[in-house]
Amino acid sequence: MHWDRFDIVEAHYAHAMDWHGGMRSKLYEKMCRISQYFKPSPLWMGYRSLTDNGKEIYQALEKKHD
């Protein structure tokens, strides 16, 4: 697979949004850091908006954090 930076950032952001455990969690901190330079479109639907590459990255993050 060919992953570009956008796939990586978008997948990490979607994962952090879906699985953070509140304002003091590591994933929430990660989401805040990413949101400093990544602003999703109002039409963005999280996981459903990811490319096939982005979904593969997201799934790898889920396995890593389980």
Q: What percent of the chain has pLDDT over 70?
A: 98
> What is the number of domains present in the chain?
1
pTM over 0.75: yes
Q: What is the number of alpha carbons within 13 Å of residue 45 lying toward its C-beta?
A: 3
Q: What is the pLDDT of residues 23-42, one digit of tens each?
A: 999 999 999 999 999 999 99
Domain limits for position 39: 5-65
Positive/negative CA dihedral, 40, 7, 53, 65: negative
